[in-house]
Structure 1
Amino acid sequence: MENVLVYFMKSSGLLALFFLSYHFLLRKETFFDNNRWFLLSGLVTAALLPLLFFTKIKVVVAGLPKLNWTALPHIVEPDEKSMLAYWPQALLLMYGLVTLFLTAKMLFDFYSLRSLLKGKERQQDGDFTLIATKDNSAPFSFFKTIVYNSELYSETELSNILAHEKVHSDQNHTLDVLLSTVFCTVFWFNPFVWWYKKAILQNLEFIADHEATQNITDKRAYQITLLKITTQQPYVALTNHFYQSLIKKRIVMLNKNQSKKRNAMKYFLVVPALIAFVLVFQIKMVAQAPNSLPISGTLNTIDHTIKKDATDQELQNTTTLFKDTQDVELLISNVKRNATGEIIGIKVTFDDHMGSSGTNGQKGTRPIDPIRIVSKKMEDGTIEIGFYAEGEEVTNPRGDSDEEQSTISMGSKTKTNAQTITTSSTTTSNTTTTTERPQPAVKAVKSAVPNSKESKTTSSTHTIKILESATDGIPLDVQYYIDGKKTTKAAVDKLDPNTIDKMNVDKDTEKGNTIKITTKAAVK
């Protein structure tokens, strides 16, 4: 019931918008054909636009709110004997009865028209069917049928009448009449719909008068014909009548100069109002955390994995998730798929606008390995974000002592160019190379550490964590060098990254992997 009322309110508002636009901006212009389509588009818009909704998905990560049960409003059940409890049903009943009456009237008009035309002698004039009658009634047309009393008019007057009615028939004005009548039947409670129908019928007469007089040399005789028919009454409400009550306005419009072309810009003035209507009433905000975007951890943590079978929509939802929840720019590009739709190439880049950024790129002939992205928003507003291996435990890179942890994953034993990671005391730039074979690359994690109140510089303690992993069941042979001297993994783990000038990772399918570290002391 509530949805029906909302629909009627929106439709009535749109009808009022188009009618007022026509009444104040367009009814005095001579763009009769354009006015016809403007008024018809108003009816269609009023009927359909309230049914069209544009969905805006806002991906959110939210927990259950804490409810104060004592503050919840107390719902009072209506008194069964109170008539107010039945007002929606009463309104619906009244609407139904009036609509039923108007529908019956419309059907009766169809029946009356059918009875009127039944048994009459017909004459074919091209595409038009002419029916002569002896009734003292105004001429009218219904689709391609034109009805008139030839005994009431002279030859010139009859010629003018037929020229007028043929315009109605040829341009299918009967459809406009029927459509406006249906709207009056459905939206009878809206006063604008009755004025709207009157505007439509009046403009149709302007069109027929204008077209009929294009091939008439004596416009004065045509106007006299208009005045002569004012004493006659129309047959039925569903037809196009030669006579309309606004004879004076029709004569004025016949003698009015053509409107200037620049005045046609008035039609576009309704567009901003329609855009505002859509933005205010027809956009639904949908908050969701889709199944394709698994989220774990605390309210401020996003733990999401991009897999080989992710759809384009799921990739778009991923970027929206990071943007809307933590204001992290996540760019997914260079997506390539095989014949089965699996991703075989992708580039994922993040930027938290606080100095941390990273890239993970994979391409090859086989599906990519999962790309896991973990982002945590701290209480102070800073972001901890990075790429992790599947199953790897995610720890707070800052910890209690504002530590920054860099995680480097050794990928598959595919020959590739060496990657260089340069580390200083203030910046850690982490890059994952693109290989010919997808590798489970784990991006280094960088945290944005807030400035200390006691010092203008930022200091942090660094540790290095190296994960040795293999893909396709190929074991890795990793060798470590510090300043050209072979060492052990344990020694590398203990090395302070602040002392490192650069780190080279050389991967070779036959010889294994070599990590060469050059310290700042060796460079000096």
Structure 2
Amino acid sequence: MNTIFSHSLSASLMMVMLYPVFWIMVKRCCSFRFNRMLMLSGIAIMVLVPIALTYKPIADAMPTDPSLQTNIIRPLEITAFNVVQPEVVTSHFELLPFILGLYWIGVFVLAVRLFISYFQLWRIISKSEKQRIDGYVLCRHENNGITPFSWGQFIVLPYSENEQSILIHEEAHTFKKHWIDVAIADFFCIFMWYNPFAWMLKNLIKLNHEYEADAKVIDSNIDVLSYQRLLIAKAVGHRTLHIANNFAMSKKDFRRRVLTMNQNDSPKGIKWIALTILPMLALAVYADTAPWSVVIHDTILNNKFPSITQPPTEIVAEYSVEKNTPKELPATLVTMRLPSPLTDPEPLLKQFEMSMELAYKDLIPDKILVRIQTDEDGNIVSATTDHDDNPEVRVVVERATNQIVFEVVKDGDRKISTRFALPIRKVSLPM
């Protein structure tokens, strides 16, 4: 569930960057189908890009070739030094569980609200008198307080409503399947309910629908002035359903609809503005992959904020251990708890020795500096090297540290985290 919240934050960042482009296009471009495709594509991008950014393919280790066994590295000497024991003050961000809980409460409440709205829609349609006409179902009911609307194949009108222009308007919504866009926008708003730009985008999508349906009415040779007066009249004192396409969508938008009816053509070249989505998207992706953003996402996924550390106090210990090549290697490394290298480095060095036994000599540098950090419970937090770009080195380190837990190190009664720097030297062997 934390992953969903993390993805919603990434989508919110992209929404903030892309919304101005959508707003300009809906306001100035009269190609309503183009605007519709642009906004739906934007929603798809905001959902899919965060998923793509978190996909990390696993690099397979190079398969062992029996013919190359003579080139296997047998490190005869591994030296450990610079064992660092930092004083760490762990500070879990106490508000994070509250924020996550609040997010899911909001998702639950809005999901229930959406369910209730669909239930109300079903009740209105089920109690209506239905008449199947070419391509849609006309539903008549007695509640004059509900503005005419359409959803799916249903056009819902009160018995008192006989205006032909309203029927043409709702037919346009039905034939163009605008209800699908509204359903997508509803689920998108639930996904990132805390972002006002998500709700504003839904309003833009529905407003663009109304522009498109109004254009259909105008093309049918209905008197424009009479239709505008009818639109203003229906915008006052009528209840609407937010999940449907309502004839009078909102009181504040009817003026924009009236002005759009009088706008014949879009400014020349207005569609080129849509291309600004690309640099805005690139900027959003750059911000979402910045180090500070990665820390936030990792913190959310781990349900805690990273530790706040004081400058470490270094305790240096020198070890020089001579190792003989083991005659046989175990088939697998068993999960185990090793002594802390502060007290006994030999078991850890043994793990690296066995891992190096399986490495390819020509792919390993002469010297590798491995840095290992553990938490207070002895779990390995990170294991990095100065050759992290070398896949074979990464395989060696991951194989050596896989499923390893160190014994807890204490300073009095307080558990402490540790850091170790292990320089591993490759010793040349006869071919």
In the superposition, the TM-score normalised over structure 2's length comes to 0.60
Distance 1:280 1:65 in 2: 41
Write out per-residue CA displacement over residues 409-454 of structure 1, whole angstroms, 9 at most, x where no aligned residue. xxxxxxxxxxxxxxxxxxxxxxxxxxxxxxxxxxxxxxxxxxxxxx
The answer to whether the 8 Å contact 1:52/1:282 transfers is: no
Secondary structure at the residue paired with 2:102? Answer: helix
By relative contact order (CA 8 Å, sep 6+), the higher-ranking structure is: 2
Distance, in Å, in 1 between the alignment partners of 2:119 and 2:4 is 31
Shift of 1:38: 1.2
Unaligned stretches of 5+ residues in structure 2: 61-74, 292-356, 368-388, 391-428
Deviation at 1:177, TM superposition (A): 1.2
| 1:32–1:206 Cα contact (<8 Å) kept | yes
Rate the CA distance shift 1:25–1:240 in 2: closer, same or farther, 3 A.
closer
Give the deviation of 1:231 after TM superposition.
2.5
Q: CA deviation at 1:224?
A: 1.9
Distance 1:275 1:97, change over 3 A: closer
Counterpart residue type for residue 152 of structure 2: F
- On the 8 A contact 1:177/1:201 being kept in 2, the answer is yes
Q: Structure 1 residues 110 and 25 mapped into 2: Cα distance closer, same or farther (>3 Å)?
A: closer
Q: Does 1:37 align with 2:37?
A: yes
Q: Retained in 2: the 8 A contact 1:18–1:39?
A: no
Q: Kindly tell me: are residues 73 and 201 of structure 1, through their superposed partners in 2, closer, same or farther at Cα, counting changes over 3 Å? A: farther
**Counterpart position of 2:88:** 75
Matched, 1:22 2:22: yes
Once residues 134 and 174 of structure 1 are traced to their aligned partners in structure 2, the CA distance between those partners, rounded to angstroms, is 23
- CA 110–90 in structure 1, closer or farther in 2 if over 3 Å, else same: same
Deviations 1:82-105 (A, max 9, x none): xx6542222222222221111111
1:117 aligned to 2:125? yes
Contact kept in structure 1, 2:26 and 2:208, CA below 8 Å: no
Match of 2:248 among 243, 246, 257: 243
- Which residue is equivalent to 2:403? none
Cα deviation for residue 66 of structure 1 reads 7.4
Q: Cα distance 1:184–1:3, how it changes in 2: closer, same or farther (>3 A)?
A: closer
8 Å CA contact 1:40, 1:176 repeated in 2? yes
From the two aligned structures, give the one with the greater strand fraction.
Answer: 1
Kindly state the Cα deviation for residue 176 of structure 1 after the two structures are TM-superposed. 1.3
Q: Which residue of 86, 107, 118 corresponds with 1:99? A: 107
User: Are the counterparts in 1 of residues 17 and 284 from structure 2 also a CA contact under 8 Å?
Assistant: no
Task: Return the offset for 1:142.
Answer: 0.8
In 1, distance between residues paired with 2:358 and 2:279? 37
Deviation at 1:150, TM superposition (A): 4.0
Instruction: Provide the residue aligned with 2:259 in structure 1.
Output: 252
Alpha-carbon distance in 2 for matches of 1:48, 1:57:
20
Q: Counterparts of 1:478-497 in structure 2 under 5 Å? A: none
2:59 and 2:108 map into 1 onto residues whose CA distance is 44
Distance 1:176 1:86 in 2: 39
Cα 1:68/1:12, change in 2 over 3 Å:
farther
Distance 1:236 1:58, change over 3 A: closer
Deviation for aligned residue 1:220: 1.7
Q: 1:294 and 2:357 equivalent?
A: no
Q: Deviations over 1:253-295 (max 9, x none)?
A: 00012114421111111112324444665699xxxxxx99934
Tell me the secondary structure at the aligned position of residue 147 of structure 1. Answer: strand
Q: What displacement does 1:140 show?
A: 0.4
Separation in 2, partners of 1:292, 1:37: 54
The one-letter code matched in structure 1 to 2:208 is: N
1:128 and 2:142 aligned = no
Residues in 1 aligned to 2:9 and 2:79: alpha-carbon distance in whole angstroms: 34
Residue identity matched to 2:201: Y
CA contact (8 A) 2:141 2:157 kept: yes
**1:274 is aligned to 2:274:** no
Question: 1:6 is aligned with what amino acid?
Answer: S
Partner residue, 1:507: none
Task: For 1:25-424, list aligned pairs within 5 A.
Answer: 26-53=26-53, 68-70=82-84, 73-78=86-91, 86-136=94-144, 137-153=146-162, 158-244=163-249, 245=251, 246-278=253-285, 281=288, 294-296=360-362, 299=365
Whole-angstrom CA distance in 2 between matches of 1:292 and 1:271? 46
Q: Is the 8 A contact 1:206 1:253 kept in 2?
A: yes
The residue identity in structure 2 corresponding to 1:141 is S
**In 2, Cα distance between equivalents of 1:241 and 1:278:** 36
What per-residue deviation string (whole Å, max 9, x for no partner) do you get for residues 155-213 of structure 1? xxx11001100010111111111111112222111111111111111111111111221
Distance (Å, rounded) in 1 between the aligned partners of 2:217 and 2:42: 27
Q: Structure 1's 73 and 181: CA in aligned 2 closer, same or farther, altered over 3 A?
A: farther
Aligned-pair distance for 1:298?
Answer: 6.3
- Say if 1:15 and 1:192, in contact at 8 Å, map to a contact too: yes
Partner Cα distance (2:194, 2:244) in 1: 23
| Partner AA of 1:176 in structure 2 | D
* RMSD of aligned alpha carbons: 3.8
Pick closer, same or farther for the CA change 1:3–1:124 going to 2, 3 Å. Answer: closer
> How far is 1:74 from its partner?
2.9
| Matched position secondary structure for 2:131 | strand
Letter in 2 for 1:39: M
Q: Based on CA coordinates, which of the two structures has the bigger radius of gyration?
A: 1
- TM-score normalised per structure 1: 0.50
2:21 is the counterpart of 1:12: no
CA contact (8 A) 1:19 1:196 kept: yes
CA positional deviation for 1:12: 0.3
CA contact (8 A) 1:140 1:234 kept: no
